[in-house]
Structure 1
Amino acid sequence: MHGKPDVVLFAHGSRDPRWAEPFERLRDKLIAQRPDAGVRLAFLELMTPNLADAVADLVSQGSNNITVVPVFLGQGGHVRRDLPVLVDACRAAHPGVELQVSAAVGEDDTVLDALARYCASELDKR
């Protein structure tokens, strides 16, 4: 079963609401690049919506093909242990939905290259 491609950007969360601002900008940039996709932001803890709510929202909009993109620099404990449990619960709640999980964004060389360019540009300011 393949429907329109939808995505949940999955981040950690924080008590400080300003912490979410770059993730909200990322969501908005992705929406601008892919207006055909449903894009939601979800948090592991301390912020809303959580993953289950973000997935349920997309499903209520007719989604049946969702990719969860962990917006983490690495595949640490939250991505390796916590996220699979949350995704399994979403799959159980929505058995007709294809739910994939990508690698953490920081595991991708294009992301690391962009970060290296940023750090190099900071050095060039000196």
Structure 2
Amino acid sequence: MTALVAVAHGSRDPRSAATVHELLDVVRALRPSLDVRASFLDLSAPRLGDVLHAVRGDGHRSAVVVPLLLGKAFHARVDVPGAVAEARLPSLDVTIADVLGPSPLLESAALRRLASIGVRSHDRELGVVLAGAGSSHEPANAAVRAIAQRWASGARWAGVEAAFASMAAPDVPAAVERLKARGARRIAVASWFLAPGFLPDRVARLAETDLVATPLGADPEVAELVLHRYEAALAEDLAVRTA
């Protein structure tokens, strides 16, 4: 069977890698027969190239690399393909799957994280900040803004604003001020991060509220999405081969 090699960005914060491993434990529970392995682009081990070499050494002839990234920014467009090419494994057929986001499954997980801290969908005094990492690639930021707009039209909150921890505007304090200007008396933060780390901590600090949802983490729907991306990549590869 084709191996699933999940690749996350990596972080100096040990909570990040631990969360990735917890998520992949859920993936394995959903598909016990599948060889699922964790890898990282930077700052954490093992690196993607090393894992691909190990996959080939264990007898696999093919692997699907699933980027554990919420948007199609620089890491997805450049770093992941670059790391695969750098591994130089002509004897291993490697397919790169699509990133996780956007997806209704991610939105569902993020909303469930909000609900777990007591946020109700009909609280008209509450403003919600949907906080993501931010990117120099504007389409990645636009995808987060589109989610915030969709939530704003579906929930009965005072408002929903996208905000970014770096590289893009608005930042979290600016988003909070926009919500307060629209009548929000309390603020909650929804996390558009997969795992804990420096940027989610920065968001929580800048928001100055106790209502901060945890990153998506080892959520069953996120694990299901990882498998969806794996299966879609396999199907696309098969279609190309048989065309």
| TM-score normalised to structure 2 length | 0.46
Distance 2:32 2:57 in 1: 18
Instruction: Say how many residue pairs are matched.
Output: 121
Q: 1:65 to 1:107 in 2, by over 3 A?
A: farther
> Structure 1 unaligned runs (5+)?
none
- 1:96 and 2:91 matched: yes
Distance 1:108 1:63 in 2: 30
Whichever residue aligns with residue 124 of structure 1, its letter is R
Structure 2 SS opposite 1:106: coil
Structure 2 SS opposite 1:124: coil
Q: Report percent identity of matched pairs.
A: 33
2:6 aligned partner: 9
Distance 1:74 1:85 in 2: 17
1:51 aligned partner: 48
Q: Deviations over 1:70-117 (max 9, x none)?
A: 111111111111111112223xx2212221111111233322333234
Runs of 4+ in 1 over 6 A off after TM superposition: none
Work out whether residues 41 and 83 of structure 2, in 8 Å CA contact, stay in contact via their aligned partners in 1: no
Distance 1:26 1:81 in 2: 24
> Structure 2 unaligned runs (5+)?
124-243
Alignment of 1:15-30 (within 5 A): 15-30=12-27
Structure 1 SS opposite 2:106: helix
Structure 2 SS opposite 1:8: strand
Structure 1 SS opposite 2:101: helix
Work out whether residues 71 and 106 of structure 1, in 8 Å CA contact, stay in contact via their aligned partners in 2: no
| TM-score normalised to structure 1 length | 0.84
Whichever residue aligns with residue 83 of structure 1, its letter is V
User: 104, 113, 121: which is aligned to 1:118?
Assistant: 113
- Tell me how far 1:32 sits from its aligned partner: 1.7
- Structure with greater Cα Rg: 2
Distance 2:41 2:66 in 1: 12
User: 75, 78, 81: which is aligned to 1:78?
Assistant: 75
Distance 1:104 1:36 in 2: 23
Structure 2 SS opposite 1:10: strand
1:63 aligned partner: 60
Between the two structures, name the one with larger relative contact order (CA 8 Å, sep ≥ 6). Answer: 1
Moved more, 69-78 or 102-111: 102-111
Structure 2 SS opposite 1:66: strand
